[in-house]
Amino acid sequence: MIQEKIKKIYKVKVSRIEKVSSNSHLIEIDLPFEIDIKAGQFISIYCNGLTLRRPFSVYYHSGNKIGILFKERGKGTSYIKSLRTGDLIDITGPLGNGFNIKNKKSLLIGAGIGVAPMAFLKSELDKRGIENLFACGFLNKNEIPNNINIDKIYTDDGSYGETGSVLNYTERLINQFKPEIIYTCGPYIVLKTIAKTAQEYGIEVQVAMEKVMACGIGICRGCVIDVKKEGKIVNATVCKDGPVFSGSEVVWQ
């Protein structure tokens, strides 16, 4: 199967890399063949000289091209930032479980770099003709990626869109848009707050968890969280069992 092929290690070519905001970069890679990727899934990139691969949510997928949005945070992302068009890198993927897309009126909420899988999800919903509204929060206007399709933008400093955290507007969005399902990705506090708010309104919610990952395939158990299954609390790995979970099954700390 196509998807099984890409789960091996493959050499791929960098077709584009550029700065798209004050603190984020886009790397686009050409795959040797077309693959099936779900919004919410990720790939892992090998970085020269480093033992562990670096995982990244897929920002967009078109034919045999994949876009990854990333911030420079350490040695791995510094290496990726240093790549140039035509360079070869190796990746594994797609990994993890993506969003379970449903034919329901959908509210998408992203925060910070969590905008990446949400942008991919929006494009998938648009293709299927599913009504949706995409809201995202940033610290300021300079952090908003170029050429991104977002319906509602909130900035902490009020430099673009409405002022304040996207969390300050979640209930307003729910009351005005009246979604049947919510999808979200961002920092832990964002996911926790949105999941609890959705529960209060009786709305289904799916959360794409952000967690430091080592192996990326559920072996090292370094990204374990607690979830509720059949009345019991059990361990789940974000990389293999997630990164997308039902917000109602996560045991929020």
- How do residues 72-115 score in pLDDT, each as one tens digit? 888 989 999 999 999 999 898 889 999 999 999 999 999 999 99
> Above 70 in pLDDT, residue 250?
yes
Q: What is the pLDDT of residue 7?
A: 54
> Above 60 in pLDDT, residue 9?
yes
- How do residues 148-177 score in pLDDT, each as one tens digit? 999 999 999 999 999 999 999 999 999 999
61-80 burial, b at 16+ Cβ within 10 Å, e below that, comes to: beeeebbbbbebeeebbebb
| Confidence class for position 52, pLDDT limits 50, 70, 90 | confident
> Above 70 in pLDDT, residue 2?
no
Q: Where are the domains of the chain?
A: 2-95, 106-210, 212-253
Distance CA 58, CA 41 (A): 6
- CATH code given to domain 212-253: 2.10.240
**Cα angle for residues 252, 222, 97 (degrees, 5° grid):** 70
The tokens of 249 are what?
């099954």
- How do residues 236-249 score in pLDDT, each as one tens digit? 999 889 999 999 99
Q: What is the pLDDT of residue 252?
A: 94
Nearest alpha-carbon partner for 121 in 180, 39, 42: 39
Structure-model confidence comparison of residues 224 and 50, the more confident one: 224
2-95 CATH fold: Elongation Factor Tu (Ef-tu); domain 3 (2.40.30)
Q: Coil, strand, or helix at residue 217?
A: coil
Positive or negative: CA dihedral 144, 145, 146, 151? negative
- How do residues 171-208 score in pLDDT, each as one tens digit? 999 999 999 999 999 999 999 999 999 999 999 999 99
If you average pLDDT over residues 53-70, what whole number do you get?
92
> Above 50 in pLDDT, residue 69?
yes
106-210 CATH fold: Rossmann fold (3.40.50)
Terminus-to-terminus CA distance in the chain, angstroms? 39
Which DSSP string corresponds to 148-178? ---SEEEETTSSSSEES-GGGGHHHHHHHH-
If you average pLDDT over residues 22-40, what whole number do you get?
91
Contact present, 179 and 133 (Cβ < 8 Å): yes
**% of the chain with per-residue pLDDT over 70:** 96
CA 216 to centroid of chain Cα atoms: 15
As a whole number, the mean pLDDT across the chain is 91
Structure-model confidence comparison of residues 223 and 171, the more confident one: 171
> Above 90 in pLDDT, residue 130?
yes
> Above 50 in pLDDT, residue 24?
yes
Q: Which of 18-22, 64-68, 91-95, 195-199 has the lowest mean pLDDT?
A: 91-95
